[in-house]
Amino acid sequence: MLSYVVRRLATAALILLGASFLVYLLTASSGDPLADLRASNAPNRQQLMDARSQLLDLDTPAPLRYFKWLGGAAQCLVPFAGSCDLGRSVTGQPITEALGIALIQTLTLVTGATVLAILIGITLGIVTALRQYSALDYGVTFMAFLFFSLPIFWVAVLLKEFGAIGFNNFLRNPVIPLPVSIGTGLVLGVVVAVAVGGELKRRLISGGVVFALVTAVMVYFSATLWFKTPGLGPVVIAIAGVGMAFAVTTLVSGLKNRKALQSALITVGLGLIAYFAVQPLLDQATGLMIFLLAIATVLVGVGVGYLMGGYDRGQSMRAAGITAFLMGGLVTVDRFMQAWPAYFSNSRVRGRPIATIGAGTPNLQGDYWIMTIDTFTHLILPTIALILVSLASYTRFTRSSMLEIMNMDYIRTARAKGLSERSVIMGHAFRNALIPLATIVAFDIGALIGGAVITESVFSVHGMGFLFLDGITHIDPNPVMGVFLCVAITAMVFNLIADLAYSALDPRVRIKA
């Protein structure tokens, strides 16, 4: 095991050396870094050219420059020495500093999108696998292919036009025309009717209920101008909480496990009390506090489950813990909505909240909630774009993996010994279907650092991809090398993790030690 890891790391280091040499030479030979100065008419042209030549050390031939760079980069390997030197960019900024800034930008942009895409993709994949060859399966498959074929820059421009500009115009006078309400209700109703499966009567009832509910909610939103002053309020939170408690319990333990259901419902009750209790506290919120509160919430939920016990204590704890987390989420969303009018009428935002470019409104002042809303409104469009284009592969992959598992003998055994369909799917099939997915997810997390070059350039987020592209256009090897190093190292490490995780999760797979 250890020798395997060491061998893999040693190979990786050699590959990295070779590849970085190639990348350096390619960047350096891709053009003339002084081209823009040569074309300029500035009187001190020669001086500027000399200064840049000096800064980028252009008099040294590129292969030699690579080894100089390597000497600086090697110092990064010495821990805690603080002498990490990846060179400077054309503007004279140290690369280590630029990388730090870019990394934060990229991670805020990509993390949420990746997590959401994985969650939605896996859910869709499992549902379509369970309803193989149904209308839902064909619909989702077609959508997956469609999303897979979408160029992200095209999606991004469409989103900017309709998602941002259109929605902002709508917010000026948030009245939804009645036909739109009915139309949306109809579409969602049909989707639900197709998705639930089962008999025609059951489908029609589910679809009808959803249609009526959605239409009513939209008419209500329109009549009360809800989008101007959104909010959930305790009543909606209570109803949604009870619904979530039932849904979570159904998935985690099945409704037959009364103790689990009771624990989840008690958690919802506690959440409602907490809703009123923590409001004053939330006014002074910070990121750390929200994080601690989230942990405390989950712990309370798990505690309730533990105290309720039942024949399977673990299930009660899980059901209550997840419900508690979701309740906490609802309360937080409600608090964000309370801050919305203040954000909306802020002099910097001027009533056009959904932003099309950048990562934050410049010079915006406000408390935690305002600033976080600002980040969200900037992140929402790139996140949607990224989710759309990366959703398809997860959906397809989960579906095929799940289908393969569902045909296994042990699934038939589980059914034959009389397990409920829920335990067969959640306990036996789902968990095993996730094993090959772990590899894909690890790869994707490794690639996450590289950022989404196109998304970043469309939405002008100054992340890793932007740094890389900027380096290429200015024929400046140092930023390119910095980004390349980060990307390559994380990719390789996560490849290794993927392989190790696979063999840890699936005992049939042995790594060659």
Partner 1 sequence: MSQPTQEEVILAEQAKKEAAPGPETEYQGLSQGQIVRKRFFGHSGALVGLAVFALIFIMAFTSVGFAGIPGWWKYNHVDVSPLVNDGVPSVSLWPLAWGEHPFGQDRIGRDLFAMTMRGAQQSIIIMVIIGAIAGLIGAVVGGLAGYFRGWVEAILMRLTDVIIIIPVLLLAAVVAQMANRRDAAGWFSAFAASNGVVVLGIFLGLVSWVGLARLVRGEFLTLREREFVDAARISGASNARIIFKHILPNAIGVLIVNVTLTMSAAILLETALSYLGVGVKSPDTSLGLLISQNQEAFATRPWLFWYPGLFIVAICLSINFIGDGLRDAFDPRQKKFRAKSAVETGRHSSETAPSSAAPGATSTGSAVSGSPADAGES
Q: Which residues bind partner 1 (CB under 8 A)?
A: 11, 14-16, 18-19, 22-23, 26-27, 29-31, 132-133, 145-146, 148-154, 157, 161, 253-254, 256-257, 311-312, 314-315, 407-410, 414, 418-420, 422-423, 426-428, 431-432, 435, 450, 453-454, 457, 468-469, 472-473, 480, 484, 487-488, 491-492, 506-508
Which residues are bridge partners to 94 per DSSP? 88
Closer of 252 and 331 to partner 1 (Cβ): 252
Closer of 167 and 376 to partner 1 (Cβ): 167
Phi and psi for 150 in degrees, rounded to 5?
Answer: -85, 130
Which residues are bridge partners to 88 per DSSP? 94
Closer of 172 and 508 to partner 1 (Cβ): 508
C-alpha 229/C-alpha 247 separation (Å) is 29
Q: How far is the CB of 185 from partner 1 (least distance, A)?
A: 28
Q: How far is the CB of 423 from partner 1 (least distance, A)?
A: 5
Q: How far is the CB of 320 from partner 1 (least distance, A)?
A: 15
Closer of 30 and 286 to partner 1 (Cβ): 30
Closer of 244 and 464 to partner 1 (Cβ): 464
Helix locations, 345-463, DSSP H: 368-406, 409-416, 421-422, 431-448, 453-458
C-alpha 414/C-alpha 424 separation (Å) is 6
Closer of 354 and 370 to partner 1 (Cβ): 354
Q: How far is the CB of 426 from partner 1 (least distance, A)?
A: 6
Closer of 316 and 372 to partner 1 (Cβ): 316
Q: How far is the CB of 182 from partner 1 (least distance, A)?
A: 26
DSSP 88: B
Q: Tell me the DSSP string of 157-203.
A: HHIIIIIIIIHHHHHHS----HHHHHHHHHHHHHHHHHHH-S-HHHH
**Is the Cβ–Cβ distance between 205 and 303 less than 8 Å?**
no
Q: How far is the CB of 422 from partner 1 (least distance, A)?
A: 8
Closer of 282 and 481 to partner 1 (Cβ): 481
Separation of first and last alpha carbons in the chain: 5
Q: How far is the CB of 154 from partner 1 (least distance, A)?
A: 4
Torsion-angle region of 127 (φ positive above 0: left; ψ -120 to 50: alpha; else: beta): alpha
Considering only CA atoms, give the Rg of the chain. Answer: 27
Sign of CA dihedral 354, 359, 365, 368: positive
**Is the Cβ–Cβ distance between 491 and 446 less than 8 Å?**
yes
Q: How far is the CB of 446 from partner 1 (least distance, A)?
A: 11
